[in-house]
Amino acid sequence: MSSAQPLRVLIVKTSSMGDIVHALPVVHDMLAAHPGAQIDWLVEEAYADIVRAHPGVHRVIPLALRRWRRQFWRADIRAEWHAWKAQLRAESYDAVIDLQGLVKSALIARLARGPLYGLSWGSAREALAPLFYRHRQETALHRTEAAVPRYRALVAWALGYTPQGQPRYGLHLQAARPDWLPGEAPYVVLLSATAKDRKLWDEARWIALGQALAAQGKLCVFAWGNAAERARAERLAVAVQGGAAASAASVGAEDPPPGRPKAGLAPSGGSAAASAASVGAEDPPPGRPKAGLAPSGGSAAASAASVGAEDPPPGRPKAGLAPSGGSAAALAASVGASFTSAGALPAPAAFGLAEWMRVLRAANVVVGVDTGLLYLAAAVGTPAVAIYTGSSPHSVEFESAGPWRSLGDRGQQPAVEAVLAATRAVLAADRRGTDMQPA
């Protein structure tokens, strides 16, 4: 590699959200070892906003492979593909580095002009992928190293340096409290949804956690990305809000006989309405509320209107949901409830990643299951608590840009009390007010 001109490198890491976040520290490493290096990044278009937020990346090359594959019979799609390929090949690179480790990513990386470097036989996600690399990293077979150090080691080996210090994610973004949030209470983002059911945390635990946070004066925002996740977010938000209202109503109420809850309080911390409605009601399918309970804590009419509403195109909210930046009043009306400044609400839309990064950055704390948004929150420096139930934290060993705690393990759901204690710990360690360095 010539030292007369800046080093030119193409990183190929196309998906998924969490994996892209794990790969971000290689940019800081490269620029520390080779100041002035030109770093381009090839990424699926759905995740391009994450890479664009890193000022060290010279050019982001969005890949629309999923969209092209579905409609490749169309002439305009084929023309788009050929134009994309010509754009990719217009640049010559000193190194093309495939961090994905798939046959598909290796074949795409081979389209670029430059020597191709890739993971070893022991690290590649697909056994045949290393066949396509000109330069193959040599490591022990059956390697189990976590993602962040694995990516850093591969790029360092390819470019001839040794990674130094803790990973730096390098995301730069301005963040302020979203204007769709009611009141001024600090807000907590709760990531209860994931594509894999085995990674879910019990809804009853989310409700208990949300009610405890609401009792501390925090506003809980439940994130969602599709119709099923939206229904879950509304259901949880209403249960949390109902519990907070019941708790407030109990203040000053006459003490009942021993063993009986105060008037207006549901046993086990639920709302009074939920408790009353549940008596004698037929048990619903797992994960669904009993008949007569509105999934969003508001009216049954609002619940009925939500159920059966036509699903919108991907990335768009259902009719009646406020878009990103809609007013708090519109949001409250959309779920048939009046949300207060200390309680809970679902996010008003299925935001794109550019908006989510700002929402996560401005949050007081983020608590979530093993999902991409959780790692994105940690990468932008927000205190975060990870809940593992269907995967193991030891296989991730994530090194966060901000305060971080991980709880649970495969087949082991952490207790609500442990999650609350972890939340208090990361908030106590938050230094965003005094350290304004990028993540």
CA-wise closest residue to 153 among 191, 209, 99: 99
What is residue 318's predicted lDDT score, i.e. its pLDDT? 37
Q: Where in the chain is the domain with CATH 3.40.50.2000?
A: 8-159, 187-250+261-428
Neighbours of 196 (CB within 10 A): 12
What is residue 91's predicted lDDT score, i.e. its pLDDT? 95
What is residue 57's predicted lDDT score, i.e. its pLDDT? 98
Helix (H, G, I), strand (E, B) or coil at 60: strand
Looking at the predicted structure, is the pLDDT value of residue 292 above 70? no
Tens of pLDDT, residue by residue over 131-164, are: 999 999 988 656 667 889 999 999 999 999 999 9
Tokens matching residue 244: 């907070």
Looking at the predicted structure, is the pLDDT value of residue 122 above 50? yes
Please state the pTM of the whole predicted model: 0.78
Tens of pLDDT, residue by residue over 240-265, are: 998 766 555 554 444 444 444 444 33
Query: The domain 8-159 is classified under which CATH number: 3.40.50.2000, 3.40.50.720, 3.40.1030.10, 3.20.20.140?
Result: 3.40.50.2000
What is residue 143's predicted lDDT score, i.e. its pLDDT? 60
Looking at the predicted structure, is the pLDDT value of residue 189 above 90? yes
Tens of pLDDT, residue by residue over 360-371, are: 999 999 999 999
Helix (H, G, I), strand (E, B) or coil at 92: strand
Give the CA dihedral 27, 30, 35, 36, nearest 10 degrees: -60
Looking at the predicted structure, is the pLDDT value of residue 238 above 80? yes
Q: Decide: 22 and 147 in contact? Cβ < 8 Å.
A: yes
What architecture is domain 187-250+261-428? 3-Layer(aba) Sandwich (3.40)
DSSP string, 177-238: --TTS-SS--EEEEE---SSGGGPPPHHHHHHHHHHHHHTTPEEEE--SSHHHHHHHHHHHH
Tell which wins on pLDDT, 67 or 424. Answer: 424
Give the H or E element holding residue 139. none
CA-wise closest residue to 54 among 342, 376, 271: 376
Torsions phi, psi for 187 (to 5 deg) = -115, 150
Tens of pLDDT, residue by residue over 161-182, are: 999 999 999 998 888 899 999 9
Looking at the predicted structure, is the pLDDT value of residue 223 above 80? yes
Tell which wins on pLDDT, 438 or 307. Answer: 438
